[in-house]
Amino acid sequence: MSEKDVKENKSEITRRKFFLFFGWFGLISSLAGSALGSVRFMFPNVLYEPSTKFKIGKPADYPPNTVTFVQDKNLFVVRGKDGVQGIRIISSVCTHMGCTPKWVEAKNQWECPCHGSVFNLKGDVIAGPAPKPLPWYKAVIASDGKIIVDSKEYVKSDYQIKV
């Protein structure tokens, strides 16, 4: 770049261009700031929906070698099935359309009444249209001896609370 070019480029920033730049810069940045703030506004900081962590009673409430349906929490408590001694928690929401599969003791499997999906004791789909296995929830024993389920955290089918 020659010395002449530098001089010409510098003289191109007129008073009008300077104010135009800052005018547009101010307008666009304030609009962008408002837009970003509005997007953040749409994400609530406090929720009033039921907690995804909840208690479902003591281990003694669930006898060995049974599958118990806990209706208001949408889950089954599995104790001592499939060669696992402890307590395990599995979702009772069918991964197809959200119906509630029924535990069939005689066949050791869950059968969904809506579209015929069948899940085995590991939660895996063995028949029907369900695309994914039923998820197992993480659960621990609280200091008061009750079981706390975290329905947001999934675990493998052999995860258990030892009793």
- From the list 40-48, 80-88, 94-102, 136-144, the region that binds another protein by CB under 8 A is 40-48
Which residue in 15, 16, 46, 162 binds another protein (CB under 8 A)? 46
* Residue 37 makes contact with another protein by CB under 8 A: yes
Smallest distance, another protein to C-beta of residue 44, A: 7
- From the list 5-13, 38-46, 55-63, 137-145, the region that binds another protein by CB under 8 A is 38-46
Alpha carbons 139 and 109: distance in angstroms, whole number: 22
| Residue 88 near residue 99 (C-beta atoms within 8 A) | no
Which residue in 2, 11, 14, 38 binds another protein (CB under 8 A)? 38
Alpha carbons 44 and 31: distance in angstroms, whole number: 22
Which structure tokens are listed for 94?
């069918």
CB nearer another protein, residue 10 or residue 40: 40
Smallest distance, another protein to C-beta of residue 72, A: 23
Question: Nearest to residue 56, comparing CAs of 153, 148, 160?
Answer: 148
* Residue 45 makes contact with another protein by CB under 8 A: yes
Q: List C-alpha distances in Å: 25 to 15, 17, 19, 30, 37.
A: 15, 12, 10, 8, 18
| Residue 159 near residue 88 (C-beta atoms within 8 A) | yes
Which residue in 14, 40, 51, 83 binds another protein (CB under 8 A)? 40
Residue with tokens 């929906």: 49
* Residue 51 makes contact with another protein by CB under 8 A: no
Binding site for another protein (CB under 8 A): 37-38, 40-46
